[in-house]
């Protein structure tokens, strides 16, 4: 009996909060003024340049390891 009562109360709370949340999320927030003013092209370019530099270092490190391994086997 107590278990059913807890489930019923929990169900009522969930239903009440979900009904309240529908009206708040239906309108939404207009952020076009913020999103149109921001330009992330230079940031994206910088991040990609850093990633490319790290890839070059990683490839050079692996290549050096292969060359050292080949020399050791001689």
- pLDDT, one tens digit per residue, over 10-31 is 777 777 666 665 555 566 788 8
Domain-located, residue 37: no
**Residue 35 is assigned to a structural domain of this protein:** no
Determine the structural domain holding residue 52 and report its residue range.
46-74
Rounded Cα gap, residues 10 and 67, in angstroms: 66
Please state the domain count of the chain.
1
Q: Report pLDDT for 12.
A: 72
Angle ∠(21,26,23) on CA atoms, nearest 5: 40
Q: Does pTM surpass 0.75?
A: no
**Looking at the domain assignment, is residue 59 inside a domain?**
yes
Residue 5, in any domain of the structure: no
Residue 66 lies in a domain: yes
In this prediction, residue 1 has a pLDDT band, given cuts at 50, 70 and 90, of low
Render pLDDT for 56-69 as a digit per residue (tens, 0 to 9).
Answer: 999 999 999 999 99
Question: Binning pLDDT at 50, 70 and 90, where does residue 51 land?
Answer: very high
Residue 73, domain member (yes or no): yes
């Amino acid at each position: 009996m107590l278990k059913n009562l807890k489930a019923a109360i929990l169900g009522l709370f969930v239903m009440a909060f979900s009904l309240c949340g529908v009206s708040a999320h239906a309108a939404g927030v207009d952020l076009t003024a913020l999103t149109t003013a921001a330009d992330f092209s230079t940031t994206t370019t910088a991040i990609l340049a850093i990633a490319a530099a790290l890839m070059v270092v990683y490839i050079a490190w692996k290549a050096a390891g292969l060359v050292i391994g080949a020399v050791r086997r001689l």
